[in-house]
Structure 1
């Protein structure tokens, strides 16, 4: 019997955990770099790395290498590491949500976002009856059709803001009219997606009990009020005071603890932990921007850079392509078709009505069809809530991968670098509009 390590974990299990994390980091880095060579976001390579290390590829080799590398006793520990990285990542995403991105295009961005979300959500709900019967039971428990359909609509509605920011930067579109509009629309999309996920979480947690659902709703309203009316002003005072005193390590520790505590609170309420982390970041002060970015956001993003690749491996371990049946692959095709139709049509129509060309409107639709990491976060949340079975999870991960990967090759390229924003002649781009000085300010590590 091996001696027990701290916390009661066997030394052999701890060694396998460390080995697994090391493999995760190397595989994610290599596949991420390879993805960039094919004009893909890093996240596409990391998702692929997770799938390759899971039962779909490595598990097919003699000796079941996937199981040997990530044994059953190690997977809960990997999942715990992934959740810590995910919570800190969502805190940074909430903190980096810039309202000023939306203001210059508020009307049109709201129109594009609402149109693409409403259509995508509606098509997802319409597709639910086709898929529900084969995926209605998860771990021996029947999932209500309302919860399944609501979640499927939510999964179709997602646009990944962080991945989109990277795509725009790599394609020299960040300072263009299309780039600015898509980024503003995606910001609104992300915010609404978290609200939809919070609703699904409450729906599942209440288990159809409307009294319980009402309790969750009241507690959620109280939680949001607490964050805006109490936490927000207190955080502003604390950050300004400690930033002036340059107490960065203490401030970083307190904010990290606050993000984790907020995640615990929303879990207790009955909505997913990531909502708590996101909202805690959302109420954080944005000024002094340069100082906060240098001393707080970047260090916390670096922590996510190390921890979050484990999230992709945990996701990949749940993807089993070999378990899909012929009808499942038909379902995958339908899911991809519905996902693309909702975002493309939902973005193209308002863009055309606003006077955009067909090419620009198509580019906007493609950009809004980017899902990537945000989709995976929502899918994993659904698994933890017991809404998705293994096959449905695999089908939706494939959709997330395909819709993200198709953007780069299909996107049109500017023939010349865009003029600096504020110096163009486009009347819809006011002279005061400003793109952040550094695009990295908008791009979280796992993009």
Structure 2
């Protein structure tokens, strides 16, 4: 009997059915966790883990392998990558300089504190964990790459998750909420830069010449995006976008997004940086026309394709494979992640005039990681920095830190059927990822 891979029509049908399963299970769990005061991303992460070997795979006959056969997984990974790139484009697009108005000094202090302390603690944790995780798929990983990656992963704050939590708790105009949003915006840009450096080091394999080449090409790419692509997009938008966005404009933007992602991959860093950078140089005006004609359709693409990313991630998470030592390491990773963010954000907040309660709320908000952390973790796997156990432990940390925030915040969330107000500064961000 022929394998599934030899029946191309059947394989495509299986992939389509898998997407349906992912959407349905993710949607159900996302709604359920709302009653536990959690953002939808927590339910979708749990769905991905539950459909993988950690839960479904434990049942007799390994249903996970039958529902998501090995032959289908590369196709699911490609679909997940498309959704991921569109999402990263939106993150770059939603970075608002206006968030920093009137609070640059405080936001800067909070951002530096909430990235410096977690990064330093991550380096120290890497020194303790490296000897047990220095080999990935038979290949040796340098301590420099492992430590830099762990430091960058500890430093991230999930800007879109944070934004949605603030909306649901009606905190967008509170001192802690506004400052957390501004600090997270700066924080994530710095954390992405750290990850880019790590990716360049890993890709260069430690060779000075290769590292120099990646650095030069990256500088050329950034200059080209700032000096050529940004004004070209601005001119194109002024010429083509009035009260509505023509379809050809949408095609050009999406093509540019994918080409930018290809360019950063070719340079030797991750495709997600290209998507983020293209979103960052996109024009923000005319805001309403772009939101209706471009932003909302792309949000729709993310809503359909991004849940596939969770199942691709969940299929590689095997909680049952963690040993007793692994459980202790997972607890240490979670503790370091929480301490780094809570202290790193709360202390600068207190020193710049906030009350201890406001500073504690600020630290709690900055500790949310969500999908952004999963993107970082998956980048670590694709770069060959994380082995399977480290991957599982980091995913659990991302889930735990995201789930920790909402129940501990002072204001109750809106009822599940009550529409949430839109944050002024986010240009239509609506999805808690």
Q: TM-score range by the shorter chain?
A: over 0.9
- 1:133-148 → structure 2 map (5 Å cutoff): 133-148=131-146
The equivalent position to 2:403 in structure 1, one of 402, 405, 417, is 405
Q: What is the aligned partner in structure 2 of residue 70 from structure 1?
A: 68
The equivalent position to 1:248 in structure 2, one of 229, 246, 249, is 246
Q: What is the aligned partner in structure 1 of residue 221 from structure 2?
A: 223
State how far apart, in whole Å, the 2-side matches of 1:146 and 1:437 are: 40
**SS of residue matched to 1:104:** coil
Listed one character per residue, the Cα deviations across residues 2-55 of structure 1 (whole Å, up to 9, x for unaligned) are 8999xx971111111011000000011001111111110100000000000000
Listed one character per residue, the Cα deviations across residues 46-76 of structure 1 (whole Å, up to 9, x for unaligned) are 0000000000000000110000000000001
Q: Does 1:441 align with 2:427?
A: yes
State how far apart, in whole Å, the 2-side matches of 1:230 and 1:3 are: 49
Q: What's the CA shift for 1:436?
A: 7.1
Q: What's the CA shift for 1:249?
A: 1.2
CA contact (8 A) 2:169 2:413 kept: no
State how far apart, in whole Å, the 2-side matches of 1:304 and 1:21 are: 13
CA contact (8 A) 1:348 1:364 kept: yes
Q: What's the CA shift for 1:129?
A: 1.4
Q: What's the CA shift for 1:196?
A: 1.0
Q: What is the aligned partner in structure 2 of residue 101 from structure 1?
A: 99
Listed one character per residue, the Cα deviations across residues 236-286 of structure 1 (whole Å, up to 9, x for unaligned) are 011121113845211111101110000000000001000000000000111
**SS of residue matched to 1:74:** helix
State how far apart, in whole Å, the 1-side matches of 2:3 and 2:410 are: 59
CA contact (8 A) 1:93 1:444 kept: no
Q: What is the aligned partner in structure 2 of residue 178 from structure 1?
A: 176
Q: What is the aligned partner in structure 2 of residue 323 from structure 1?
A: 321
Q: Specify whether residues 221 and 90 from structure 1 end up closer, same or farther in structure 2 by C-alpha distance, changes over 3 A only.
A: same
State TM-score, norm by structure 2.
0.95
CA contact (8 A) 1:91 1:281 kept: yes
Q: What's the CA shift for 1:442?
A: 5.1
CA contact (8 A) 2:172 2:423 kept: no
The equivalent position to 1:387 in structure 2, one of 360, 385, 391, is 385
- 1:297-312 → structure 2 map (5 Å cutoff): 297-312=295-310
**SS of residue matched to 2:54:** coil
- 1:343-422 → structure 2 map (5 Å cutoff): 343-413=341-411
Q: What's the CA shift for 1:218?
A: 0.6
- 1:43-58 → structure 2 map (5 Å cutoff): 43-58=41-56
| Superposition CA RMSD, Å | 2.0
Gaps of 5+ in 1: 417-434
CA contact (8 A) 1:305 1:446 kept: no
State how far apart, in whole Å, the 2-side matches of 1:215 and 1:411 are: 47
Gaps of 5+ in 2: 415-420
Q: Choose 238-247 or 360-369, whichever is displaced more.
A: 238-247
Q: What is the aligned partner in structure 1 of residue 9 from structure 2?
A: 11
Q: What's the CA shift for 1:197?
A: 1.1
State how far apart, in whole Å, the 1-side matches of 2:183 and 2:146 are: 26
State how far apart, in whole Å, the 2-side matches of 1:322 and 1:436 are: 41
CA contact (8 A) 2:168 2:413 kept: no
Q: What's the CA shift for 1:190?
A: 1.1
Listed one character per residue, the Cα deviations across residues 138-173 of structure 1 (whole Å, up to 9, x for unaligned) are 010000000000000001001000000011011110
State how far apart, in whole Å, the 2-side matches of 1:107 and 1:90 are: 27
Q: What is the aligned partner in structure 1 of residue 274 from structure 2?
A: 276
- 1:79-228 → structure 2 map (5 Å cutoff): 79-228=77-226
Q: What's the CA shift for 1:413?
A: 1.9
Q: What's the CA shift for 1:443?
A: 2.4
